[in-house]
Amino acid sequence: MALKSADDYSLVRVPIEARRPMWEVFMIRFGAVVCLPLLMTGATIGYGMTLKDVIIATLLGVLILEIVSFLSGVAGALEGMSTSFLSRWTGFGQIGSALIGLVISITATGWFGIQNSVFAEGLYSAFGGKVNLQLIMLISGIGITLIVVYGYRMLSYVANIAVPAFIIGVLWATSKMLGNYSFSEILSSSPPGEPMTIGVAATVVAGGFMVGAVITPDLSRFNRNAWDVFWMTLLSLLLGEVVMNFIGAGMAHVSKTSDVVKIMYQLGGWFAAFLVIFSTIKINDLNLYAASLGITNFLDAVFNIKVNRGVVTLFVGLIGTVLSIMGILDKFVNFLLILGVAIPPIGGIMVVDYFILKRFRKVLEESRKKGELPQIVESINPIAILSWIIGSLIGYYVHWGIPALNSLITAGALYWIISVIWSKITRQHPLVFVKN
């Protein structure tokens, strides 16, 4: 497979003939949900809740995530564009989309490095500290980078290996757990840790995957229609979040700890622990994929430089790998969390612009029929930028409810209200700012 084939339509629409079956896109998305961080979420909320409350909290979180995932995903599927690229015609304009691409890229690259460290440290522990930790980081970082270089098709191949491996590891540990405890005993057991409310738990569930929900177009652009997006997002969330959270919570009740690696080791030995650790490769390749798409869009929007996404992946992957080896990424976790709060508002603004204001829908539809990109694009939309900033600040400083959802709703509502008012004042219908 040549490197050139890895560009993955980063700066053009994904053509109809390149769209993939629902189950194939689902497996990649499912791999992003069914992973070590999700099992950690289940163990965390289960440590402070009954299993019945875990299910209620998870369903509430899934409802929120599905709404965001479906709406943003449909826009991506209809237009065949990634999140950052589509944002040029859904609120942000060319310069605004460059900022979005940059924020997503920095966030995803940072988490790529951190997850690479988690993977390497897990293997390091599995081998009893008898291998070189930095060498494992180097090998795993380069390995994942090479996977992502080849784009969507390779992501699909890896998902078909990593997802079953993760499920086998979890089922192995679960069978060991049920061999020592009855299901009814686990179901009726009291939480071993400090009590957690359903509201807080739903916040953890929804907030933990909100960024993934917003960047759904990165994958859904390969879906064939809105129904494919619906089933892809719904099934991945239901089968992933509900089942894995329930299992993780049950394991926390039995093992009396929320540390997933310790839980897996106690219940299934290093075989189960290794398979679960191995699954981090699946979410990490999507981190790097999102980063490469964002950087590609940034370079094109700001400098009019069209760089092959595969080449960008090599560069970004090496940076993330080196940073993980140097051990400095741990110091940037708080910074990455701040950037994470800045991503949900993007989804709110894009959904409002595409489905409610429909400022560029006609232009998008006309160009879509020709298989081209719209000739008209704003330079920047000040209302979107202002709403983005305010929404991010709300998400960061207001801790009531779900911060990620607070920022998304605030930005979307503010963008809609100001746009309608400004459109009436300027008598522009639709409201369009300075064009290139």
Please give the pLDDT value at position 261.
67
> So what's the pLDDT on residue 170?
82
Q: What is the mean pLDDT of residues 317-322?
A: 93
DSSP letter for 435, please. Answer: B
The answer to whether the CB of 112 falls within 8 A of the CB of 320 is yes
**Quick check: 309 and 145 in contact, CB under 8 A?**
no
424 occurs within a structural domain: no
Task: Report pLDDT for 45.
Answer: 92
Q: SS3 letters for 259-287?
A: CHHHHHHHHHHHHHHHHHHHCHHHHHHHH
pLDDT band at 3 (very low <50, low <70, confident <90, very high): very low
Q: Tens digit of pLDDT for each residue in 345-369? A: 999 999 999 999 999 999 999 999 9
Question: How far apart (Å, rounded) are the C-alpha atoms in residues 308 and 296?
Answer: 8
CATH number of the domain where residue 24 is located: 1.10.4160.10
Q: Are 203 and 402 in contact (CB under 8 A)?
A: yes
The residue range of the domain holding 311 is: 3-330
CA 39 to chain centre: 16
pLDDT value, residue 329? 65
Residue 165: its pLDDT value, please?
A: 83
Examine the pLDDT at 433 and tell me if it is beyond 80.
Answer: yes
Within a domain: 357: no
For residue range 136-194, list pLDDT tens digits in order: 999 999 999 999 998 888 888 888 888 888 888 888 888 878 777 787 888 888 888 88
User: Model confidence at 302, in pLDDT bands (50, 70, 90)?
Assistant: very high
Cα three-residue angle 189-256-242, rounded to 5 degrees:
65
Q: Is the distance from CB of 27 to CB of 156 less than 8 angstroms?
A: yes
Structure tokens at 20: 């993939």
pLDDT on residue 1: 37
- Pairwise pLDDT comparison (44 vs 13), residue with the higher score: 13
Give residue 30's pLDDT band: very low, low, confident or very high (50, 70, 90): very high
* Token code pair at residue 243: 């089942």
First-last CA distance in the chain = 37
128 by Cβ neighbours in 10 Å (0-12 / 13-18 / 19+) ranks as exposed
The per-residue pLDDT for range 187-234, each reduced to its tens digit, is 888 888 889 999 889 888 988 888 899 999 999 999 999 999 999 999
d(CA 173, CA 165): 13
Distance (Å, whole) CA 290 – CA 292 = 6
Asked if the structure places residue 419 within a domain, the reply is: no
- Separation CA 303–CA 147 (nearest Å): 28
Instruction: Report how far residue 243's alpha carbon sits from residue 49's, in angstroms, rounded to the nearest whole number.
Output: 16
In a domain? residue 325: yes
- Give per-residue burial for 171-181: e unless 16+ CB within 10 Å, then b: ebbbebbeeee
Is residue 228 in some structural domain? yes
The yes-or-no verdict on residue 85 having pLDDT over 50 is: yes
pLDDT digits (tens, 9 = 90+) for 369-384: 998 999 899 999 999 9
User: What would the DSSP string read from start to end of 386-398?
Assistant: HHHHHHHHHHHH-
Q: How confident is the model at residue 2 (pLDDT cuts 50, 70, 90)?
A: very low
What is the residue-wise DSSP string for 228-251? HHHHHHHHHHIIIIIHHHHHHHHH
At residue 5 the predicted structure's pLDDT band, cuts being 50, 70 and 90, is: very low
Question: Is residue 436 assigned to a domain?
Answer: no
Q: What distance in Å separates the CA atoms of residue 209 and residue 340, rounded to the nearest whole number?
A: 10
Q: 132 lies in a domain?
A: yes
Specify if 83 maps to a domain: yes
Q: What total of structural domains would you count in the chain?
A: 1
Residue 387 pLDDT > 70, yes or no? Answer: yes
* Mean pLDDT, the chain, integer: 88
Residue 340 has pLDDT above 70, yes or no: yes
pLDDT of residue 126: 67
Residue 421 CA, chain-centre distance (Å), reads 33
Vertex 406: Cα angle to 359 and 338 (nearest 5) = 100
Does the pLDDT value for residue 100 go beyond 80? yes
